[in-house]
């Protein structure tokens, strides 16, 4: 099995892929779009993409890509994320004038970054890629926010460990696969979570009516996210995570009811929810 992820070796997405299937071969991709492409073209069996962080919030780009592609959600992984400030050996914190990392990582370490005076923050496409950048360009007055594993891979030292704003910094990743012949494996009988996306007519009470189809059947919504409809200003899509499997009668009935008045409705996947880790890990 080959799992595609966005980023360089040592990225948290790679750690999530290996947490999902420790025996899998992993395939780094430059961008989120490349992960979708690798799975759709059969170069990878599955793809792993971050969708939400407990500090930084939603990764909106990946919600948009879910709608633009036909991949199905096969599962999810929750990964405790521990950020470190890393630099070339011999560099001290006082020498650092630039810090590189992914925008999400920068947001998750905002309190630490604001404590530093005279340091330029530079957004990059990946945490591990930032570590690689330091090594390849021999940047002696720069540091990166990345995992301790990325530091080890690229020969860097840890200047300061666990710099995220909150100890319980967790990122939720979606595992994506193709439908068709593999559809049975993407909708397991023990599924307890279903993700859907729908639109609603622009009229009073439309969202209340939509949510009531789940409330009436005792289905909890663990997440509800609105996103703009591309090309239609001020119209919105609603992404919802339901705490029920698609095979459950109540879930099927709720979606049938919603489909009676929702102009569009699509099931993105029905899968087993990620188990909750008892405590954050100290590395990734």
pLDDT of residue 111: 94
Cβ-based neighbours of 144, under 8 Å, separated by 6 or more = 85, 86, 87, 99, 100, 101, 127, 130, 131, 133, 134, 156
Give the residue extent of every domain in the chain.
1-81+164-180, 84-160, 187-275
User: How is domain 187-275 classified at the CATH fold level?
Assistant: Alpha-Beta Plaits (3.30.70)
Q: Is the pTM of this model over 0.95?
A: no
Taking the C-alpha atoms of residue 233 and residue 135, their distance in angstroms, rounded to an integer, is 44
pLDDT of residue 275: 85
The number of beta carbons lying within 10 Å of the beta carbon of residue 279 is 8
User: How is domain 84-160 classified at the CATH fold level?
Assistant: D-Maltodextrin-Binding Protein; domain 2 (3.40.190)
Residues of the chain with pLDDT under 50: 181-184, 279-284
pLDDT of residue 187: 61
| % of the chain residues with pLDDT over 70 | 94
Chain segment 15-28, per-residue pLDDT in tens: 999 999 999 999 99
Q: Do 151 and 84 form a contact (C-beta atoms < 8 A)?
A: yes
Q: Do 227 and 239 form a contact (C-beta atoms < 8 A)?
A: yes
CA distances 54 to 107, 119, 166, 183, 270, Å, are 11, 26, 9, 30, 22
Cβ-based neighbours of 35, under 8 Å, separated by 6 or more = 4, 5, 6, 29, 44, 47, 48, 49, 176
pLDDT of residue 56: 83
Q: Do 199 and 262 form a contact (C-beta atoms < 8 A)?
A: yes
pLDDT of residue 182: 44
- Residues belonging to the active site: 171, 173
pLDDT of residue 167: 86
* CATH number of the 1-81+164-180 domain: 3.40.190.10
1-81+164-180 and 84-160 have identical folds: yes
Cβ-based neighbours of 179, under 8 Å, separated by 6 or more = 70, 71, 72, 186
pLDDT of residue 280: 43
């Amino acid at each position: 099995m080959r799992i595609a992820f966005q980023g360089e070796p040592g990225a948290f997405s790679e750690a999530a892929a290996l947490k999902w299937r420790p025996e899998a071969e992993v395939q780094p991709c430059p961008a989120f779009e490349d992960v979708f492409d690798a799975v759709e073209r059969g170069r990878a069996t599955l793809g792993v993409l971050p969708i939400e962080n407990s500090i930084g919030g939603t990764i909106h780009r990946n919600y948009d890509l879910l709608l633009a592609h036909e991949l199905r959600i096969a599962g999810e992984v929750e990964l405790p994320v521990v950020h470190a400030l890393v630099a070339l050996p011999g560099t001290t914190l006082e020498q650092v004038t630039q810090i590189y990392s992914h925008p999400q990582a920068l947001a998750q370490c905002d309190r630490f970054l604001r404590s530093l005076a005279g340091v330029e923050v530079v957004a990059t496409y990946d945490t591990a890629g930032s570590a690689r950048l330091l090594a390849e360009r021999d940047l002696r007055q720069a540091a990166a926010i990345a995992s301790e594993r990325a530091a080890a891979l690229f020969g860097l030292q840890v200047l300061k460990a666990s710099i995220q704003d909150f100890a319980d910094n967790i990122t939720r990743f979606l595992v994506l696969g193709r439908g068709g012949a593999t559809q049975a494996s993407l909708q397991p009988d023990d599924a307890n979570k279903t993700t859907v996306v729908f639109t609603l007519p622009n009229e009073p009470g439309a969202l209340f009516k939509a949510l009531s189809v789940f409330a009436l059947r005792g289905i909890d919504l663990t997440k509800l996210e609105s996103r703009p409809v591309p090309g239609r200003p001020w119209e919105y899509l609603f992404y919802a995570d339901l705490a029920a499997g698609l095979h459950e009668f109540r879930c099927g009935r709720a979606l049938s009811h919603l489909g009676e008045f929702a102009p569009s409705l699509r099931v993105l996947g029905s899968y087993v929810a990620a188990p909750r880790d008892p405590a954050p890990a100290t590395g990734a």
